[in-house]
Amino acid sequence: MRSLAAAAPPSTGTAAGIDLDHLSWSGVSTYNQCPKRFSYRYLEAAPEERKSAALIFGSAFHRAAEQVLQSRLEGRDLPDQASLLATYTGHWKEESDQAPEIVFAKGDDESTLLNLAERMLVAFLEHVRQEAQAEPQRRILALEHADRFRLLPETPPLEARLDVLELDGEDLLVTEIKTSKSRWNDQKVTEALPQLVVYAHALMPLLREIGATRIRPRFLIVTKAKAPVVQVLEPKADQRDVQRLREQLGEVWKGIQANVFPAREGWWCAACPFRVACQGR
């Protein structure tokens, strides 16, 4: 790891006249959690001082999971456990070498996270194998598909990045892969539901292009447990959820335009990549 990077400059970005070519769901969520962090990341492109080990872990796990799905997409045999671990460790090294400082949760280190990744990848690999046997007609169309669309005329386009797109009969199936400490409950699903609403809007042109009749967004959760489980959830969104998303996006954009970037303290501050700059140390 390199030494601690220079602290980011004070958060003074102004939104008046700012030309953001798009917003992402991650950006909207960041603003809702802490507008000042949004300013550092998306307006000022401030250098990160540190990085959460959980973020690196999630990114490395996704890279290995993508290797499994890429094999299915190309009609090849699924990779073995050793190959997946090599992909995970390679991505972990790449990310950690670029991080000025890595912030681990209590009780975690690189070794414990590697052991966790191994268990989770075994569970994910078995899930993909079983699903391929149970749903042989399902066909992967794309991985890491990015698309932009405008939800409100007064805001920049929203960009959706979709982990997996599949065609299942006349259904366009879009799957977002998540890692989680535990199984998701109803409250967690409700909190994440706007992301599925974003996906549904982004995919409407593709739906018509391929002749599918409906979009089925879902979450695939891999738990970080001693015995990881894979949880597949297909929550339903209605027009009220769409309206809430519109209102949420509109409020975020009003805040950006009004140059409203206060710091909001919470549990997320411990691993914030701009903590030193924000606290003025």
DSSP string, 204-237: HHHHHHHT--EEEEEEEEEE-SSS--EEEE----
Thinking of the domain 25-251+275-279, which architecture would CATH place it in?
A: Alpha-Beta Complex (3.90)
pLDDT at 17: 54
Separation between Cα atoms, residue 43 and residue 148, nearest integer Å: 19
Whether 161 contacts 145, CB under 8 Å: yes
pTM of the predicted model over 0.85: yes
pLDDT at 240: 87
* Domain spans, the chain: 25-251+275-279
Three-state SS for 129-198 is: HHHHHHCCCCEEEEEEEEEEECCCCCCCCEEEEEEEEEEECCEEEEEEEEEECCCCCHHHHHHHHHHHHH
pLDDT at 133: 94
pLDDT at 18: 64
pLDDT at 59: 96
Which DSSP category does 266 fall into?
Answer: S
Three-state SS for 14-69 is: CCCCCCCCCEEHHHHHHHHHCHHHHHHHHHCCCCCCCEEHHHHHHHHHHHHHHHHH
Residue ranges in the chain whose pLDDT is less than 70: 1-19, 281
